[in-house]
Structure 1
Amino acid sequence: MRDSVLATEVLEPYAQALMSLAQSQNLMEPFGENVNALLSLLRDSEDLNQFLESPLVPPDSKKAVLQQVVGDQVHPYMKNFLMLLVDRRRIQFLGGICKQYQALLRELNQTVLAEVTSTVELNDEQKQTVRDRVIAMTKARQVDLDTKIDPELIGGVIIKVGSQIVDASLRGQLRRISLRLSSAT
């Protein structure tokens, strides 16, 4: 419940505002690249997350660090958006707002997100095979892959697109065989 309220009250309005700005300036893709870079930055630096989320850190310090960290790597409008989030005390929601923006951009581009879990890193050919399978399943124009590694799968992959899950892992196959054997007795 709390997550859905957070999404509708905070994340969606800010992501929508960012998308409106991007559309009015024809900057949807550059903003998408900026958002990906920001998410990567947040994912790679727990210290930055804690710094931005801390209510004890003054807004001017947060702005100075953001200016230093993002520098000229993001569009000036995106930098202004980050400063606005600091001013409105919403910078701690940056990751969620970025993910919401990505979802809006995917919807606009008729792109779906496929979460792929495998035992080892997929090569380009395997990634393309997964993309082709997801396009056939969803009729989307494009597919973005979010890959994760889980050695406990033993082999194969699990593909999740929205609420659909394709479990082509050895662990899943063994579980299905076990269920069949236990129901047959």
Structure 2
Amino acid sequence: MSEPASISAAIAGRYAAAIFDLAQEAGGLDALEADVGALGAALAESPDLRDLIVSPIYSREGQAGAISALAAKMKLSAPLANGLRLMAEKRRLFALPQLLKALAEAIAEAKGEVTADVTSAIALSKAQADKLAQTLKDKTGKTVKLNVAVDESLIGGMIVKLGSRMIDTSVKAKLASLQNAMKEVG
């Protein structure tokens, strides 16, 4: 992780912990989860919002005003809206993507959920995704959400990343392993 990225993650982690604790005390984790999803979608869709959070041409007051208006328009919960205002006043909005990621992870942890990143050679059917999620749930004891992506270069099979564990059953990986074994022989 690069130094600026680790600094952003550290800043976001502190804000996320405070926002999460306030929302949990108020019994508003479901609202916070919905807000995190909506704000993440808005950030992904709006180049103006992305520009606002990283551009130094906006003043503290300008950022704070824009974030307050956005929070009111989106009807964000009080802990998140207040946290965003504070981040704007302290010129920390550049860490917003990391904040949303940290909040999503904290909410999932509180709900006993984990997220598995699955990359497959072809799109998984609903039945296949459900069976994979159930198998992972049986192994971990937690509810598993799947982030599914398709990478045709895998040729066949899939790669599953769950926390620090990775299971690579792709044909591409098996061919690479076979190629390495052949180099050692010959």
- Same fold by TM-score, threshold 0.5 exceeded? yes
Which segment drifts farther, 162-171 or 57-66? 57-66
1:12 aligns with 2:1: no
1:125 to 111, 124, 127: 127
Query: Which residue of the partner structure matches residue 109 of structure 1?
Result: 111
Superposed CA deviations along residues 136-171 of structure 1, whole A, max 9, x for unmatched, are 33x232112222232222222111112211112221
Equivalent pair of 2:160/2:166 in contact (CA under 8 Å) = yes
Query: Which residue of the partner structure matches residue 82 of structure 2?
Result: 80
SS in 1 for 2:103: helix
SS in 2 for 1:112: strand
Deviation (angstroms), 1:182: 2.8
Q: How many correspondences in the alignment?
A: 183
Structure 1 alignment gaps of length 5 or more: none
SS in 2 for 1:155: coil
How has the CA–CA distance of structure 1 residues 163 and 37 changed in structure 2, closer, same or farther, with 3 Å as cutoff?
same
Equivalent pair of 2:154/2:170 in contact (CA under 8 Å) = yes
Query: Which residue of the partner structure matches residue 150 of structure 2?
Result: 149
Deviation (angstroms), 1:69: 4.6
Query: Which residue of the partner structure matches residue 160 of structure 2?
Result: 159
2:96 to 94, 97, 102: 94
Structure 2 alignment gaps of length 5 or more: none
**TM-score, length-scaled by structure 2:** 0.84
Which segment drifts farther, 142-151 or 155-164? 142-151
**TM-score, length-scaled by structure 1:** 0.85
Provide the identity percentage.
Answer: 25
Deviation (angstroms), 1:63: 3.9
| RMSD (CA atoms) | 2.2
Query: Which residue of the partner structure matches residue 25 of structure 1?
Result: 26
How has the CA–CA distance of structure 1 residues 117 and 5 changed in structure 2, closer, same or farther, with 3 Å as cutoff?
same
